[in-house]
Amino acid sequence: MSKPGIGLQLYTLREETAKDFRGTLRKVAELGYEGVEFAGYGDLSAEEMKALLDELGLKAISSHVPLQAMKDNLQQEIDYLKTIGAKYMICPYLAPEDRPKGEGWRELFSFLQEAGTEVRKQGLVFGYHNHDFEFQDHVGELTAFDALFSDTTPEAVQVELDVCWVQFAGQDPLAYIKKYAGRLPLLHLKDFSKDEQGHMVTLELGKGSVDLPAVTEAAIEAGVEWLIVEQDFCQNPPLTSVENSLNWLKDHHLKV
């Protein structure tokens, strides 16, 4: 089994990229990350982004593309990803107003199947990234998360599993990694604790309640291609946090 690459979800560095996208990407490369997952492209054209990635030796893994952007201009999003050499397009989040209820989920599933089919036809791979709400609503007897992947085909919709949100929702990340092995190319590595009100506090890797050594081992067994570090909110300066998390991974993941 080949070991996954280690990437960074750039949402973690959103304040830094807003000030200096090019400079921030340079720092990410200097830290030793192999690839990046985008959450917006700053003001860089696809050609400019491709040149920058090539200069830095960074791999474009994927991009989190908002649902509305996919509905408004899917082709534009596909073209950007193909130009920068990314393989994956991910639906990252459903705003509260976009979240269906009950059987209403099936309309969304139909759109994701259609979008994913077009993305695949053009040589890319489409996936869906979870939070916790997909485990709280149900479609029939299934959680909305499981119903999504039951109603869509693996060819059209792959899984980007966020183990932090899976555990926060009261589910077992290891069980879900095993369940979707073969359909799970990307995995978000995050850690967390809960505050006094029960809200999530995202932490650097190895400082929270997620059994990350077991997660990384399970990910390797499941054939995950990329482990992608993300921290929604950082207690330290974000670049320090992503460096600390990468160091944790080097100490643990690379020895698995």
For the chain, domains (ranges, CATH) are 5-255 (3.20.20.150)
Paired tokens of 71 = 């509905």
Coil/strand/helix, residue 126: strand
* Cβ atoms of 34 and 58 closer than 8 Å: yes
| pLDDT level of residue 102 (50, 70, 90 thresholds) | confident
Condensed to tens digits (0 to 9), the pLDDT of residues 178-230 reads: 999 999 999 999 999 999 999 999 999 999 999 999 999 999 999 999 999 99
Residues 6+ apart with CB under 8 A from 192: 164, 167, 168, 200, 201, 202, 203, 208, 209, 210
Q: What is the pLDDT of residue 256?
A: 41
pLDDT surpasses 90 at 2: no
**From the CB of residue 131, how many other CB atoms can be counted at a distance below 10 Å?**
19
Q: Say if residues 74 and 89 touch (Cβ distance below 8 Å).
A: no
Q: What is the pLDDT of residues 216-255, one digit of tens each?
A: 999 999 999 999 999 999 999 999 999 999 999 988 865 5
Confidence (pLDDT) at 187: 98
* Contact indicator for 85, 50 with CB cutoff of 8 Å: yes
Q: pTM for this structure?
A: 0.97
**Residue range 133-153, pLDDT digits in tens:** 999 999 999 999 999 999 999
Interatomic CA distance for residues 248 and 251, integer angstroms: 5
pLDDT above 50 (res 39): yes
Q: What is the mean pLDDT of residues 99-108?
A: 92
> Does the pLDDT value for residue 160 go beyond 90?
yes
Confidence of residue 131 (pLDDT cuts 50, 70, 90): very high
